[in-house]
């Protein structure tokens, strides 16, 4: 038993000596030495945050500290994304040389660490220089904020809501902000809008990754309509991906009542809701609402608007004299209607200063 232990111990000692002699030359072969032929001013460089899809570079300077001329024999990188550039001409003793390391951040956010191996003609020692950093999307937060892409321009919103505007308002301004998410310069040529909406882009030449805004001027006094109005704005650009960008502006146009002008028309509806009951898909039902002017002046019906294309409204008069009535026929078409209970709204806008907007409803249960 003792003999077996002694034999194993001798084998372990011999193996240790063998590993020492094998590994010692390798370690000296792969480390930088102060007494070596090349003395690098720095052997590490941190690029910090690097924008994805871009290239960065750094120059490593070294001095020939040997007593004879030498040249760089081989410089290689540990990854294809790292490219070393060097001059293979002779470097005199005491003279300086350099290695330029170029790194390309591919479109993936990650931390990188790369090693460049340097071999000179003077000796077998290998030298190592390292680069590190992090590939980041520096526009990531901006892209998340401007999340509605129209071609190469990302908008925070494509809809500008002006809420309630009186029909005497000459100019109300809002903005739609955007971000050029591409590496191309985008030029805004013109806007196609209704006559009461004017638009401009600031700037009209948008550089890559630049912020901009569409300035929308709404002149409600030029809009002949009343009630809710949704308008299209076409923004024409040189963006080949999407040249024409569709934006929207909406407003509820209300009548402005001048206190110096008498307007005593007053609307009265005897019913504001009607239930058609149960009907089959495809049936068409009608109901007539009575609109009476119980005021002292003529009552003007400015607009009647249904909430759905399946509901049609027909007004007999839009100017109702004092004490007179007009009929509003509501036609409900259930073709394509969803089965179950359906509720549709009709908005009546009038010159009644006490209640300029009245909403009536119709109900139906579709089998």
Flag whether pLDDT at 358 surpasses 50: yes
Q: What are 293's two structure tokens?
A: 């002017």
| Among 45, 120, 39, CA closest to 87 | 120
Q: Which residue has the tokens 């036609």?
A: 331
Instruction: With cut-offs at 50, 70 and 90, classify the pLDDT of residue 128.
Output: very high
**Rounded distance, CA 351 to CA 317, Å?**
14
Task: Determine the CATH number of domain 38-136.
Answer: 2.60.40.10
Residue 94 CB partners (closer than 8 Å, separation 6+)? 63, 64, 65
Flag whether pLDDT at 219 surpasses 80: yes
Residue 73 CB partners (closer than 8 Å, separation 6+)? 88, 119, 120, 121
Query: Percent of the chain scored above 90 by pLDDT?
Result: 62
Cis peptide bond N-terminal to 349, omega within 30:
no
Flag whether pLDDT at 79 surpasses 90: no
Rounded to an integer, the average pLDDT of 206-219 is 96
Q: Is the dihedral of CA 335, 339, 340, 345 positive or negative?
A: negative
Flag whether pLDDT at 14 surpasses 80: no
Q: What are 105's two structure tokens?
A: 């951040």
Flag whether pLDDT at 329 surpasses 70: yes
Topology (CATH) of 267-366: Immunoglobulin-like (2.60.40)
| Among 309, 310, 363, 313, CA closest to 334 | 310
Instruction: With cut-offs at 50, 70 and 90, classify the pLDDT of residue 35.
Output: low
Are the CB atoms for 116 and 84 separated by under 8 Å?
Answer: yes
Rounded to an integer, the average pLDDT of 194-219 is 96
Flag whether pLDDT at 16 surpasses 80: no
CA atoms within 13 A on the CB side of 260: 0
Task: Determine the CATH number of domain 140-254.
Answer: 2.60.40.10
Q: Where are the domains of the chain?
A: 38-136, 140-254, 267-366
Instruction: With cut-offs at 50, 70 and 90, classify the pLDDT of residue 26.
Output: very low
* pLDDT tens column, 261-295: 777 899 999 999 999 999 888 889 999 999 999 99
Residue 310's pLDDT is 86
* pLDDT tens column, 49-72: 998 888 999 999 999 998 899 999
Instruction: With cut-offs at 50, 70 and 90, classify the pLDDT of residue 36.
Output: low
**Rounded distance, CA 57 to CA 25, Å?**
33
Fold equal for 38-136 and 140-254: yes
What does pLDDT average to over the chain?
87
Residue 307's pLDDT is 83
């Amino acid at each position: 038993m003792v003999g077996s232990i002694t034999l194993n111990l001798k084998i372990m000692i011999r193996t240790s000596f063998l590993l020492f002699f094998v590994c010692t030359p390798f370690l000296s072969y792969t480390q930088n030495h102060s007494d070596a032929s090349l003395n690098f001013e720095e052997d590490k460089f941190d690029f910090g945050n690097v924008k994805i899809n871009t290239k960065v570079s750094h120059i490593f300077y070294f001095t020939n500290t040997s007593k004879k001329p030498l040249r760089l024999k081989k410089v290689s990188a540990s990854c294809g994304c790292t490219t070393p550039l060097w001059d293979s001409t002779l470097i005199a003793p005491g003279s300086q040389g350099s290695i330029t390391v170029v790194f390309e951040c591919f479109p993936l956010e990650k931390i990188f660490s790369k090693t460049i191996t340097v071999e000179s003609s003077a000796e077998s020692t290998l030298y190592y220089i390292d680069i590190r950093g992090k590939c980041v999307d520096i526009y990531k937060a901006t892209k998340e904020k401007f999340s509605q892409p129209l071609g190469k321009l990302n908008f925070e919103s494509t809809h500008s809501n002006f809420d309630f505007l009186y029909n005497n308002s000459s100019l109300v301004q809002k903005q739609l902000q955007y971000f050029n998410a591409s590496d191309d310069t985008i030029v805004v040529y013109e806007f196609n809008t209704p006559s009461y909406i004017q638009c401009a882009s600031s700037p009209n030449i948008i550089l890559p990754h630049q912020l901009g805004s569409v300035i929308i001027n709404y002149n409600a006094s030029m809009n002949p309509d009343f009630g809710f109005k949704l308008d299209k704005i076409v923004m024409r650009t040189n963006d080949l991906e999407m040249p024409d960008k569709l934006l929207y502006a909406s407003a509820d146009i209300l009548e402005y009542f001048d206190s110096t002008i008498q307007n005593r028309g007053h609307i009265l509806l005897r019913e504001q809701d009607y239930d058609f009951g149960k009907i089959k898909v495809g049936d068409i039902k009608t109901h007539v609402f009575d609109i009476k002017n119980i005021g002292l002046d003529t009552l003007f019906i400015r607009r009647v608007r249904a909430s759905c294309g399946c509901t049609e409204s027909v007004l007999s008069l839009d100017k109702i004299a004092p004490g007179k009535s007009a009929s509003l026929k509501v036609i409900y078409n259930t073709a394509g209607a969803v089965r179950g209970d359906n509720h549709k709204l009709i908005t009546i806008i009038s010159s009644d200063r006490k209640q300029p907007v009245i909403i009536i409803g119709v109900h139906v249960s579709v089998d």
